[in-house]
């Protein structure tokens, strides 16, 4: 048997103490298959055609059969995939054991903890397409239910080399949003992300860090104490298996998850070409509200925000009240950003 990754809010136990496998509790076979598919997807980074084909396969035949076809060689990728052999299943099993030992778990679409439609991006026609862009699984560390934690969430992100002004604004937004019952989502990075996480924690509020690596990997190293605190009081989540280290394309994938986990995005500071600009594009594709903080026209870290507002791609916000009003307007169907076609969500030259 695999290490039990189930937490108190999804346990189902009969009076005689026997655990019941229900719709909220995926079988070990499903968990192992999803862990294997997570490994395979992680090896497809930068190969969009392979990722699309993998997602389509899982949507067509289900995770167990998809895993079997890949490990047996019946399904062949366009490019070489190091995790497509049978030995990868054994590695996936070890990853499930490792995540259990560090107090984490693998959350899968078959689980009641899965955030459901929030993670399924719309197609070009505006319909939900669960076979394109949705994570195959999420590795999670933290004591809270993922779907409940993301019930009302805002991403606060921006430049790593943030100005004192940006750090102050991000910290205040993080604190005030958390005090209003909003989960603060960010990427755990230096600068704006770090300030937003810390702000949320100062009020004992909710915060989620989406990582470009395994949830057992402290990245960036300088934020290791912060990330460990988030793993105890909030949630760390990642598409990538335990032990996976950051890589350029993984930052872009991380930013996609940040956008998908949130009802809206607040860009506090950003350069002209940055991963934050990509996050804003993906947020617009998802039909979520994009917001930006006005900054000095003389500041390089405000150029990205000013461009977003100038082009009509972001709503200017200067307070937590502005953010909450923008989110409410989206809920009411008034104002906000128009959904951007997915074809316009091109990748930037740099990731943050």
Q: Report how far residue 126's alpha carbon sits from residue 321's, in angstroms, rounded to the nearest whole number.
A: 29
Residue 263 has pLDDT above 80, yes or no: yes
Q: Mean pLDDT for the chain?
A: 85
pLDDT of residue 288: 94
| Separation CA 286–CA 306 (nearest Å) | 22
Give the containing element (helix H, strand E) for 157. strand 153-157
> What's the mean pLDDT in 302-330?
94
Interval 54-81 mean pLDDT: 88
Beta-carbon neighbour count of residue 279 at 10 Å? 29
Place of tokens 């307070």: 319
Average pLDDT over residues 87-98: 94
Per-residue confidence (pLDDT) for residue 44, from 0 to 100: 80
CB–CB of 132/123 below 8 Å? yes
pLDDT at 207 over 90: yes
Euclidean distance between CA atoms 214 and 239, whole angstroms? 8
Residue 275 banded pLDDT, cuts 50, 70, 90: confident
Residue 83 banded pLDDT, cuts 50, 70, 90: low
DSSP secondary structure letters along 105-126: EEE-TTSTTS-GGGGS-B-TTS
> Containing H/E element for 264?
strand 264-267
What confidence score (pLDDT) does residue 46 get? 63
Q: Which of 174-183, 208-217, 264-273 has the lowest mean pLDDT?
A: 264-273
Q: CB under 8 Å to 117, separation ≥6 — which residues?
A: 128
- Average pLDDT value for residue range 130-148: 85
Reported as type and span, the H/E element at residue 287 is none
* Nearest partner of 63 among 95, 100, 27, judged by Cα: 27
Contact between 26 and 112 under an 8 Å Cβ cutoff? The reply is: no
The confidence band for 115, taking pLDDT boundaries of 50, 70 and 90, is: very high
Residue 329 has pLDDT above 90, yes or no: no
Mean pLDDT on 155-171: 96
Top-confidence residue, 244 or 126: 244
Strands 138-141 and 104-107, by their bridges, are: antiparallel
Nearest 5°: the CA angle 130, 92, 2 is 100
Residue 85 pLDDT: 66
Of 243, 345, 207, the residue nearest 285 (C-alpha): 345
Does residue 316 have a pLDDT over 90? yes
pLDDT band at 119; cut points 50, 70, 90 = confident
Among the residue ranges 54-68, 85-99, 117-131, 228-242, the one predicted with the least confidence is 117-131
Q: Are 217 and 186 in contact (CB under 8 A)?
A: no
Average pLDDT over residues 4-32: 54
Query: Kind of pairing, strands 235-238 and 289-292?
Result: unpaired
CA angle at 184 for the pair 234 and 5, rounded to the nearest 5°: 30
Confidence band for 337, pLDDT divided at 50, 70 and 90: low
Check residue 23 and give its pLDDT. 46
The three-point CA angle 167-267-241 to 5° equals: 90
């Amino acid at each position: 048997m695999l290490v039990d990754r189930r937490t108190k809010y999804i346990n189902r136990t009969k009076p005689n103490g026997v655990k019941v496998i229900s719709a909220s509790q995926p079988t070990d076979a499903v968990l192992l298959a999803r862990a294997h598919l997570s490994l395979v997807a992680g090896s497809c980074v930068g190969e969009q055609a392979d990722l699309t084909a993998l997602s389509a396969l899982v949507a067509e035949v289900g995770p167990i059969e998809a895993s079997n076809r890949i490990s047996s060689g019946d399904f062949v990728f366009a490019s070489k995939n190091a995790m497509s052999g049978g030995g990868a299943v054994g590695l996936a099993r070890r990853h499930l054991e490792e995540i259990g030992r560090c107090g984490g778990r693998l959350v899968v679409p078959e689980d009641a903890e899965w955030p459901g439609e929030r993670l399924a991006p719309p197609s070009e026609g505006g319909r939900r397409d669960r076979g394109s862009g949705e994570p195959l699984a999420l590795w999670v560390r933290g004591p809270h239910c993922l779907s409940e934690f993301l019930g009302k969430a805002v991403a606060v992100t921006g430049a790593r080399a943030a100005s004192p002004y940006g750090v102050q604004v991000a910290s205040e937004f993080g604190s005030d949003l958390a005090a209003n019952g909003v989960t603060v989502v960010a990427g755990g990075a230096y600068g704006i992300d770090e300030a937003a996480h810390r702000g949320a924690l100062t009020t004992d509020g909710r915060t989620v860090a989406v990582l470009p690596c395994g949830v057992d990997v402290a990245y960036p190293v300088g934020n290791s104490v912060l990330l460990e605190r988030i793993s105890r009081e909030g949630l760390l989540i990642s598409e990538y298996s335990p032990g996976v280290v950051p890589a350029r394309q993984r930052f872009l994938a991380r930013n996609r998850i940040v956008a998908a986990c949130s009802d809206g995005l607040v860009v506090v500071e950003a350069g002209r070409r940055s991963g934050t600009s990509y996050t804003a594009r993906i947020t617009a594709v998802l039909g979520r509200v994009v917001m930006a903080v006005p900054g000095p026209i003389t500041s390089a870290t405000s150029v990205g925000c000013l461009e977003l507002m100038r082009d009509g791609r972001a709503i200017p916000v200067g307070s937590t009240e502005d953010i909450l009003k923008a989110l409410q307007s989206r809920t009411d169907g008034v104002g906000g950003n128009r959904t951007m076609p997915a074809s316009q969500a091109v990748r930037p030259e740099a990731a943050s």
